[in-house]
Chain A
Amino acid sequence: MKSLFPLTLLTCLPLLGQLVPSEILAKDQAITEAQSDQIFKIVRAVTKGASEVVFPIFSNRNHIGYGVSVGDGKLIAKASEVVPRPKLLVKTKEGALPASILGAYPEQDLVLLSVDGLKAPAAKWVDGSGLPEGAFLAAVRPDGEAAGFGVKSVAARSLRAEDQGFLGVEMHPNDFGDGVRINRVVRDSAAAMVGLRPGDEILAIKGEVVKGFHEISARLRRLKAGETVDILISRNGNELKFRPTLQGSRAKEPESEQLRAMNSKSGSRNQVRDDFGNVVQSDMELESSQTGLPIIDLEGRIVGLVIARAGRISTLILPSIEIEEMLKSEPYKLDQRPRSVSERSRR
């Protein structure tokens, strides 16, 4: 049974029983497979550095992900996949070595592992923030093969709602024109604190004229919590200026049923996949058991680490600069902050 989905976010699905997916003919399949082989073969020329610092991690003989060496016999790996699992073993050329947990970095969902007898150089993290969207990226396995190949789909950003500016006004999504009417002001919000009221019409934000709900929402969400903004409104025919200090958004929009269906059927996903303060999005196809792989650009430089398979179109990558910065601080001991990691994985 094939499941076909139209791609709008509709409240109800049209009947698409008659939509038939085109079969991919063997001759077409052969062409694209040969092409993939060519690409993966070319990429192999630049994977050496990354392949020497990555190791598969097992728990009770199940492969649960990868870890990247940070020197001194230590690896970093995805915390929510590794921490809850018993009997961690790291496979190396010298054999399987037991690993123990030194601590965790809950902000990044990473764990620091100590592996007795591991001899591996530390990964050389390189800032890839200059790579434009559309740049080619590859995830590298210990054998030097690319596990995945794709592009930088979206530049580094925070996925956390609390990092987006929140004013606390409700408007009708279809409202459009000179002045957008506030229907409700959220209690204790930035808007309430400066005295914005229902019936006020928003004319401009930071001196720029705004003319619809979506435009206002976009402007505000691009600002940071804590930022003070000029807002021009019209009240009873008078223009008034307010200077609210934005809060962070309170609620994250839940994934719709339709999107969940599309995402969950398109392969495995990690439990912790959206709570990141700084990640790059790629269209690279990977499985949820492939977190922890180093990501390289076409120069072979390690520009990040796979932190989650998030859905059909999305693999999330922690940028190297984020990891370098993180490694300057001590990890939280799991018995000190026993709930921090598991809490995040439940959210």
Chain B
Amino acid sequence: MNNLIISLTLIGLQILSAAPTLESLSDLKALQERVQNVVVAATPATVSLISLRNGSAGSGVTVSAGGLVLTAAHVVQGSREMIVVFPDGREERARVLGANSTRDAAMVQLIGDGPWAFVEVGESDLLVTGDFVVAMGHPKGYDPTRRPPVRFGRVMTKDRSGFITTDCTVIGGDSGGPLFDLEGRVVGIHSHINVEEKAINRHAGITGFKKSWNKMLAGEKWGLLGSDGNGMSRPVIGVILGKKAGALVVQAMPSGSPALEVGVKIGDELLRTGDAEISSLDDLRKFLIDYEAGDRLKLVVGRNGEELEFQIMLAGLRAY
């Protein structure tokens, strides 16, 4: 019986995750109406963010009545406070909270009394190629003669580090602005583009934001833009791993390795970090995107058929 339920769930998921198809003019009109509804709901929450330090301009989106704003890490880089301009011209100030630069993710907090117009946060991991999306933002900086320009497009592809590529064209000033699904939920934050390809506009996936949420909220800043978890300063547990009969096995540990220090041994099988099952190097790398050197976490290994648990402190790759 259990098996049956599981297989049904899988079928359900497959149906949900198929790219949408359009067959008639009425389908297209229905899609148009959904896009317009997203625009109405999203406009008042799509803000322009200007650095008090150097005047550079990006965008952001309010995601709570209390004034939490999501933006891109490179928009707030080096700033402690930002100028916020709402589409109606209202000006406010916001305090920079934390940022995970590897995900190009950041949070700022509006100063002053709410409630503020806001949008719901969605889930980028549920998006599939072909899903319709709407991009908003303040390209070229805040412009009082217009509302945030609407861009419509599809998810072109997703990559393993949580970025989404769409054909919603974005440009300078859009950075940090929101990408919406057709329910009007934020699913991405504009990050960077390939200028020679109009179909390559990249957005930091919101699921990645959620993984870094509490650390950003607490004001932590870490990571390196463009490193996708492969940068020289990335956090490591200090083991060289190899595959042995399907298992991920510790083959060597350099001196000073955090794993070596707590008693991990060569030949141990890596099972879990934190609460995440690790069965490949890719799993481990993805997991560590939301961590930085100095963070403490649980490490579970298998040795002689037993599970052993260690608390380790992550080191920076550069430390070696």
Q: Which one of A28, A174, A261 lies within 8 Å of B156 (CB-CB)?
A: A28
How far does the Cβ of A151 sit from chain B's closest Cβ, in whole Å? 4
Which chain A positions have C-beta within 8 A of B75? 8
Give the chain A neighbours of B154 by CB distance below 8 A: 32, 35
Binds A, one of B32-40, B278-286, B294-302: B32-40
* B171 lies within 8 A of chain A by Cβ: yes
- Give A49 Cβ to nearest chain B Cβ, in Å: 15
The answer to whether B152 touches A134 (Cβ under 8 A) is yes
* Residue-wise interface mask of B (15-39) relative to A, using a CB-CB cutoff of 8 A (1 in contact, 0 not): 0000111111101110110011011
Q: Give Cα distance in the complex from A173 to B22, angstroms.
A: 48
Q: Offer 18 A-B interface pairs, CB within 8 angstroms, sorted by A.
A: A6-B74, A9-B56, A18-B226, A18-B228, A133-B36, A150-B152, A153-B150, A158-B145, A212-B91, A213-B91, A214-B89, A214-B91, A217-B144, A262-B171, A265-B195, A281-B146, A312-B169, A313-B174
Report A-chain residues with C-beta under 8 Å of the C-beta of B134: 134
Q: Is A251 an interface residue, CB under 8 A from the partner? A: no
Query: Contacting B130 at CB < 8 Å: which of A32, A258, A259?
Result: A32
Identify which of A133, A174, A266, A285 contacts B147 (C-beta below 8 A). Answer: A133
A241-270 interface mask toward B, CB cutoff 8 Å, 1 = contact, 0 = none? Answer: 000000000000000101101110111000
Interface size on B (CB < 8 Å)? 84
By the criterion CB–CB under 8 Å, are A312 and B191 in contact? no
Closest to A260 in B: B172
Q: Knowing A7-B191, A8-B75, A35-B21 touch, does A16 contact B58 (C-beta < 8 A)?
A: no
Interface on B for A, CB 8 Å cutoff?
Answer: 19-25, 27-29, 31-32, 35-36, 38-40, 50, 52, 54-58, 72, 74-75, 77, 83, 85, 89-91, 93, 129-130, 134, 139-142, 144-147, 149-154, 156-159, 163, 165, 167-176, 190-200, 202, 225-228, 231
Closest to B153 in A: A283
Interface residues of A (CB under 8 A from B): 2-11, 14, 16-25, 27-29, 31-32, 35, 38-39, 42-43, 45-46, 132-136, 150-155, 157-158, 164, 173-174, 176, 211-215, 217-219, 221-222, 256, 258-259, 261-263, 265-267, 281, 283, 285, 298, 311-314
* A176 & B226 in contact (Cβ 8 Å cutoff): no
Taking a contact as CB atoms closer than 8 A, the residue among A6, A29, A174, A221 that contacts B52 in the complex is: A174
Given contacts A6-B225, A7-B171, A314-B149, 20 further A-B contacts (CB under 8 A): A6-B74, A7-B72, A8-B57, A8-B75, A8-B173, A10-B56, A19-B192, A22-B163, A22-B165, A24-B200, A35-B154, A38-B22, A136-B28, A164-B145, A218-B142, A256-B172, A259-B140, A259-B171, A312-B198, A313-B139
